[in-house]
Amino acid sequence: MFAFAPARVACQRTQEQPSQQPLEVRVTAPSWEKSCLKVGVDRINHSSTPLYLSGTGPYISLAVKDEATATGNSQDTRWVNVDGLTEVLSWEAAPITPGATVHNDYCFRAAVAVVNLTKETRREIPLRGRLRVEAFYFLSEEDWKKNKHYHEVMFSEHSKPWKRPEFQKTESTTAYVEIPCHEVGCNPECEKPPIVLRDEQRILPDFYYFEEKANARGRAIGDKLARKSPTRSEDVQPTH
């Protein structure tokens, strides 16, 4: 079992401030309450007209390193979704008036599950290092409706590829924030992104959660990674 002490962070970190955009994403400093990482996200409209917040997102992701590039000074990083990934697709949007703020509070478990579908493995990696928050929006109601119409036509059973409507992409704003150490003091290991294998990813639904063999194979992966880096474990045992 990957054990966390119910301590408060002793390290002090700062959030990167994004450049001014029509929509700003502001993340409150995360804090641990027992095994829950509390994070607050504000989406602020700095424009003089209403913006339209996409029905998908915000997407909150954890920075991880592929095992193949985790040695040396490699800066290769990819992201594993922590929140926002869903099986339900939505083309809707909600208006946010000029100067207004939409606030959301989150409480994340101390680990996130990654799965290899080919090898049928599942394991939980520690929530540590860095989070990315992505918010999507449209500059006008017209842009939102154009985007919605495109997807409705493309997902229609009567859709004809040669009659595709004009596509309108969403705008996006991104913010990054450091995750505080869960242990006492400033252990340098708690700042490092967790290690994952190249084919490991987060999936929904988490249908391997109750699969004993898949979790056992995942524990074996975590043990192998821990032997390569004995100062830390890259596997958190699931609690059923």
pLDDT digits (tens, 9 = 90+) for 115-134: 999 999 999 999 999 999 99
Considering only 6-20, 51-65, 119-133, 202-216, which range has the smallest mean pLDDT? 6-20
CA dist., res. 235 & res. 114, Å (int): 10
pLDDT at 186: 60
Is 192 in a helix, a strand, or coil? coil
What average pLDDT score do residues 186-213 get? 89
Arithmetic mean of pLDDT over the chain: 84
pLDDT of 157 strictly over 80:
no
DSSP string, 213-240: HHHHHHHHHHHHHHHHSTTS-S-B----
Residue identified by tokens 């641990």 is 32
Domains of the chain with CATH codes: 23-64+72-110+130-191 (2.60.40)
CA dist., res. 235 & res. 200, Å (int): 13
Using 50, 70 and 90 to split pLDDT, how confident is the model at 235? low
Percentage with pLDDT > 70 across the chain: 79
Task: Find the radius of gyration of the CA atoms of the chain.
Answer: 20
pLDDT of 106 strictly over 90:
yes
Tens digit of each residue's pLDDT (9 = 90 or more) over 45-82: 999 999 999 998 899 999 999 887 555 544 578 999 99
CA dist., res. 228 & res. 224, Å (int): 7
CA dist., res. 239 & res. 63, Å (int): 23
What average pLDDT score do residues 9-33 get? 72
